[in-house]
Amino acid sequence: MKIARFSRVGFILAAAGSAVGLGNIWKFPYITGEYGGGAFVIIYLATVLLIGFSIMIAEMLIGYLGRKDGVSSFEDLAPKNKHLWKFAGFQGLAGLFIMIFYSVVIGWIFNYIVTSIYYLPSSVEEAETTFSTLLHSSVWTQLFYHTLAFIWITYVLTKGIKGGIEKMNFVLMPTLMIILLGMFFYATSLDAFPKAVEFMFFPDFSKIDSDAFVVAVGHAFFTLSLGMGAIMTYSASMEKNSNLVKNAFWVVLLDTSIAIVAGLMLFTFLYQYGSGPAKGPGLVFISLPAAFFEMGIVGNIFAVLFFIALAFAGLTSSVSLVEPMVQYFIDRYSWSRLRASISMGLFFYLVGIIALLSNIDGFKDILTWGDKSFFDWVDYVTAAIMLPLGGLAMAIFIGFVVEKQRVEAILKPQLGFAFEAWYFSLRYITPVAMFIVMLSLIGVL
């Protein structure tokens, strides 16, 4: 049977779709607001180039050489201790666990697409009340949209690499970019645009502390979809003789460009119609809808378009979060794609209901342990432990376990004189950075 492979453009769009998610359009702007703008952006961009790009090449290499699910690829490529290294491939569980709350958040976005057609809050206070009502009281609304997200994602997975994942990204990724660019060009016509540019590109290092470095590294890793097996699994279906470095470059460029464009656009709107750069997760669901209200009917149109773009970003990355474990059950247990897709979909959907209920009044007390709800615990464990461990495993595996000659044979013709610098970064800079991030996020440092 002929194995389905991505076309080159299809792979780049799928990998970029995996990387471009809620982290770019939602999280990047609000953490940029929290850490003072330009100085944080500079640290973030440096982190993406020095650490994110290095790990992405390594993750692509594992998938490209292994040509199987993550567990089998690690097992096959390890020269010794194969029975131990196969456990590194279970980083695909991180993506599946992320989907537990990610699907719920996509449900919130679906809800905002619909409500923005006819209603926008007239103030930040009203917007905060609206979002709080959705989060803490509207169980059936959340459940309905969470179910829609589950159906969409699972259906695309059942259609496979070519007919599902590539086809979806061929439609959603260009549409996402057109919507964002259209809104961005409108933003450039507003008086507040120079303020947004100044905020994002003129650094004030007095607002930077050690936390900013940790957040920048962690976010660069999360937004590039690294450490969860997604890029590795997609790379297993890459065409033969593909240029991994060029592919990684295009994915990083698209991912970073969309984050910058989204940040400039959102900060322009907030300066023009709101109270300036908003801090915290409420930027998209609280501050921005209130700013859209000030635009009049144009604001309703922009709000709908923005939340559609946000939903597309979430859906393209969601499919990649689940695909590693789908491929694992197909390769290791000979499950049909239909069975594997539905099983993994039902897992994140049913456990996602628990995450959803953990924010609802009347349920959250019994679904909260310590200072975190079940929703927050899943977010915390994946971000603070599972993703850094996945990145650490890949850096050590390619840097110290797989024979250097095998790595050189593929990457030296593509990297040229930069190969040794990349290899050094992968072996010594990246593991230390990931270890520090993990220790910081779990509160040891």
Within 20-138, residue ranges assigned H as helices are 22, 28-34, 38-47, 53-66, 70-77, 82-85, 92-115, 124-136
CB 375 within 8 A of CB 208: no
Tell me the three state secondary structure of residue 368: strand
Give, rounded to a whole angstrom, the gap between the first and last alpha carbons of the chain: 52
Considering the domain boundaries, does residue 317 fall inside one? yes
Residue 434: what pLDDT? 84
Written as six digits, the tokens of 355 are 């995450």
Domain coverage including residue 259 = 8-441
DSSP string, 392-425: HHHHHIIIIIS-HHHHHHHHHHHHGGGHHHHHHI
β-pair partners for 372: 369
Number of domains within the chain? 1
Considering the domain boundaries, does residue 1 fall inside one? no
Digit-by-digit pLDDT tens for the chain (445 residues) are: 445 678 878 888 888 888 777 778 878 888 888 887 888 899 889 888 888 889 999 999 999 999 889 899 999 999 999 989 999 989 999 999 999 999 999 999 999 999 999 999 988 899 999 999 999 999 999 999 999 999 999 999 999 888 898 899 999 999 999 999 999 999 999 999 999 999 898 887 777 777 788 888 778 877 788 888 889 999 988 888 889 999 999 999 988 998 899 889 988 988 888 766 655 667 788 888 988 998 889 899 999 999 999 999 999 999 999 999 999 999 999 999 999 999 999 999 999 999 999 999 999 999 999 889 999 999 889 988 898 889 899 999 999 999 999 999 999 999 999 999 999 999 998 888 888 888 887 877 6
Considering the domain boundaries, does residue 3 fall inside one? no
Integer Cα distance of 210 and 157 in angstroms: 40
Considering the domain boundaries, does residue 349 fall inside one? yes
Residue 276: what pLDDT? 64
Considering the domain boundaries, does residue 2 fall inside one? no
Residue 286: what pLDDT? 87
Considering the domain boundaries, does residue 199 fall inside one? yes
Considering the domain boundaries, does residue 159 fall inside one? yes
The CATH number of the domain holding residue 228 is 1.10.4160
Residue 338: what pLDDT? 97
- 207: which residues sit within 8 A by CB, 6+ positions away? 35, 36, 37, 39, 40
Considering the domain boundaries, does residue 426 fall inside one? yes
Residue 419: what pLDDT? 94
Integer Cα distance of 295 and 302 in angstroms: 9
